[in-house]
Amino acid sequence: MKIAVSVDDHLDVNKLDWQALVPQQAAYLQAQGAAAYLNAGDTFNDFKKSVTYFHALQQAVGPQMPVRFLAGNHDLVNGITYAQAQGAADPLYLHERTLTLPGSDTVIIGNNGWYDYSLAPRELGKTPADFAQWKRAYWLDSAIDQPVSDAVRMARVLTTTEAALRQAAGRRVIYLTHFVPRRDFMVYNPKRTYWQMATALMGSQALGVLLERYAVAEVVFGHLHIRQPAQTFGRTTYHHQPVGYGLRRLNEWVGHDFLTEWQQTLVWLDV
């Protein structure tokens, strides 16, 4: 069996008619024999719209192919509170949940993830307070409901992830998250001060350390909007193939239509 994983589809930013898209995606997944379709976040800038879309896709593919999704930072901007985001906000929502498929010894663990500023360039010499202030002034995430600090939110990610990994002991694990789990995937540009500050909000080095300590087999993430070849560290292989933006002002696509980009960036994993 194999599962398909996508991330950073940004259906609203890419100005797509998602209702017309759903049957096309469903037909492709069925033709490829996908046992499940998973999405690692950033589908809409509104959690409720993401829920509506994934339920439509689930209905289109049928109950034999589970559809599950995470919330990236964009999904969390509207339509959901912090407390709701950490709970069972929807039956298809995979955050802090696991999924197993009949006949498989693989466990799929989902966690939205977050960040703790550990991926920022060390030479910046900024404090956590500096990054937090910059985020409030300039970054989309300042609109997300969050009654705790970024460090506390990330600590929860590590705690709940480790609990899920312990529960999955002895089984092969696929881990899905939205944010970057390792410094090796980062791109830095000292000439762009704005980007150098933004790198603090990309993810957490501590997550990769944890996943590798538990010998997680496969990790799929996004957020960085840079397509990179799979890389293996220890016994853990990381996949970063975001769809990204196909806009005139910001074009990250190889081709010119979303469906082709989505198909070509799907991560296929055996379960």
CA atoms within 13 A on the CB side of 165: 21
Asked if residue 219 has pLDDT above 90, the reply is yes
Q: What CATH number has the domain bearing residue 137? A: 3.60.21.10
Q: Average pLDDT for residues 122-134, to the nearest whole number?
A: 95
Cα–Cα distance measured from residue 108 to residue 94, given in angstroms and rounded to the nearest whole number: 9
What digits encode the pLDDT tens for the residues 53-107? 999 999 999 999 999 999 999 999 999 999 999 999 999 999 999 999 999 999 9
- High-pLDDT (> 70) share of the chain, %: 100
Distances (CA, A) of 219 to 1, 36, 168, 190: 17, 16, 15, 29
Question: How many domains is the chain built from?
Answer: 1
Cα–Cα distance measured from residue 93 to residue 58, given in angstroms and rounded to the nearest whole number: 12
Residue 233 confidence (pLDDT): 98
Q: Domain containing 108: what range?
A: 2-270
Q: Average pLDDT for residues 110-131, to the nearest whole number?
A: 96
Q: Average pLDDT for residues 126-154, to the nearest whole number?
A: 97
Higher-confidence residue of 256 and 48: namely 48
Residue 119 confidence (pLDDT): 98
Asked if residue 221 has pLDDT above 90, the reply is yes
CB neighbours of 43 closer than 8 A, spacing ≥ 6? 9, 10, 11, 49, 50, 53, 54, 69, 72, 74, 75
pLDDT band at 197 (very low <50, low <70, confident <90, very high): very high
Asked if residue 248 has pLDDT above 90, the reply is no
